[in-house]
Amino acid sequence: MSQLCIVPVVMSGGSGSRLWPASRAHCPKQFLPLVNGTSMIQDTVQRLDGLDGLCPPLVICNESHRFLVAEQLRAIDQSHSGILLEPVGRNTAPAVALAALHAMRDGEDPLLLVLAADHVIQDQSTFHDAVRVAVEAATQGALVTFGIVPTHAETGYGYICAGEPERVGEPSLPVSAFVEKPDRDTAQRYVDSGDYFWNSGMFLFRASRYLGELKRYQPEILSACEAALSTERPDLDFIRLDEFAFARCPDDSIDYAVMEQTDQARVVPLDAGWSDVGAWSALWDIADKDASGNVVKGDVLLSEVKNSYISSSERLVGAVGVEDLVVVETPDAVLVASKGRVQDVKEIVNQLKMSARPEAEDQVTVYRPWGSYRSIDTGERFQVKHIRVNPGGQLSLQKHHHRAEHWVVVSGTARVTKGEQTFLVSENHSTYISIGEIHRLENPGKIPLDLIEVQTGSYLGEDDIERLEDVYGR
């Protein structure tokens, strides 16, 4: 494998609505540390460490998540081959086509290891072994998918039926069929047969091989992706496409568009503690539990509680005499659900969207390319925020028409531009920005800059920002 070029393609387009209230549209589950101290997208790229022949990963995400992706990769010192921005969502078949076309732009033809950004794989060594098996099959022209060895009759996944091996002990198997999510009895028959695997949504194949099959079965997708990439242009860490051309692309999954059509599909069984973390019950499944079967995160007190998942981000949560519950506390919302009904959390999210409530989209902490901010208190004509600016980060040169701002530095050092002046503000010192005054905030230091911002004025909305210069191109 050392002489091969394998490009990991990390698909980061999910919304994670079933993990509300932790996961929100503007910061979904792949960017959250739900399992350990790092986010799921960071775990995805870090679990590749130790595989031979790897090139830096290529990430595909939507426009609104671009700075989250870039910052989370930077935080773990992870280089990348680019961050492709989908102008609109068109499912996985076009996304992988974009990755394949981009990877071949310099005449190369690498293997693509297609991964979701929000999966858990607990046994890294076994995963690496499966990738090596898949590489061997892919170099011989196969389109390989990874089939998860089922642990129970799951109705929430599609299944892959494996055919008979051509020879005894063959590590990869021909695919006989892809089947939709079954009912309970059918799922049990699949598991009992030993011929079926959960469909993981992970793949490995040569870029040209995938594009050839796509051209054969879904040429409209390939044509639209080629047109979208014809005007490819770099923008900081990002690769922007032609929005109009890509919007005309058919919406289709890689399973429907290619894998169910081709006669070259093979499946590599994978038994490595995989989970797509599709709901709170999945996090309960994979986490360490106490003697009563409970998973507890944060400041939680229990009395006679069994088989429950209870998480607190800030406040003390107490539970008494309950069983099979999920309780998730965040600064602005609390979820209480039966563990057997957590797939229906998306219905709460739908209600929030119908009511145009911000809890569907944003957390209390809002992320920006330069760092983040959090609203601490809001009242008539005032708002208090905690602002964090990453080392080297800078806000746009801007002004406000309806509000003034008072900045108090808590830690780090701020470089402040006010009108024609530029000066430093250190810890425990402050400065005042009057209404209409041109200003900019920067962090020239090596540690995060934390400050408290007090806004006063007749209108305090985020749209009262007139940007004059912005290094992030907003």
Dihedral-angle region of residue 52 (phi above 0 means left; psi in -120 to 50 means alpha; beta otherwise): beta
Of 207, 324, 218, 201, give the one whose Cα is nearest residue 261: 218
Peptide bond into 21 cis (omega under 30): yes
Sequence ranges of the domains in the chain: 6-275, 282-352, 365-469
Say how far apart CA 146 and CA 197 lie, in whole Å: 9
Say which residue the tokens 């330069």 belong to: 370
Please state which architecture CATH assigns to domain 365-469: Sandwich (2.60)
Q: At what angle do helices 92-103 and 219-229 cross, to 10 degrees?
A: 50
Nearest to 136 by CA among 49, 241, 32, 206: 206
- Among 30, 49, 192, CA closest to 116: 30
Q: Which two tokens stand for residue 423?
A: 């000066």
Question: pLDDT at position 236, please?
Answer: 79
Residue 333: beta bridge partners? 330
Name the token pair of 35.
């399992």
Q: What is the largest CA-CA distance in the chain?
A: 78
Give the whole-angstrom CA distance, residue 178 versus residue 145: 11
Assess whether the region 6-275 and the region 365-469 belong to the same CATH fold.
no
Beta-strand pair 430-433/403-411? antiparallel
120 Cβ neighbours under 8 A, 6+ residues apart: 35, 40, 43, 273, 274, 275, 276, 277, 286
Name the CATH superfamily for 6-275.
Spore Coat Polysaccharide Biosynthesis Protein SpsA; Chain A (3.90.550.10)
Residue 332 zone, left/alpha/beta (φ > 0; ψ -120 to 50; rest): alpha
Q: Inter-axis angle of helices 219-229 and 207-217, to 10 degrees?
A: 120
| Nearest Cα to Cα of residue 225 among 215, 217, 213 | 215
CA separation for the pair 151, 102 (Å, rounded): 37
- Give the pLDDT of the chain (474 residues) as one tens digit per residue: 346 799 999 999 888 899 999 999 999 999 999 999 999 999 999 999 999 999 999 999 998 899 999 999 999 999 999 999 999 999 999 999 999 999 998 889 999 999 999 999 999 999 999 999 999 999 999 999 999 999 999 998 999 999 988 877 789 999 999 999 999 999 999 999 999 999 999 999 999 999 999 999 999 999 999 999 998 888 878 999 999 999 999 999 999 999 999 999 999 999 999 999 999 999 999 999 999 999 999 999 999 999 999 999 999 999 999 999 999 999 999 999 999 999 999 999 999 999 999 999 988 888 889 999 999 999 999 999 999 999 999 999 999 999 999 999 999 999 999 999 999 999 999 999 999 999 999 999 999 999 999 999 999 988 999 999 998 887
Residue 460, amino acid: L
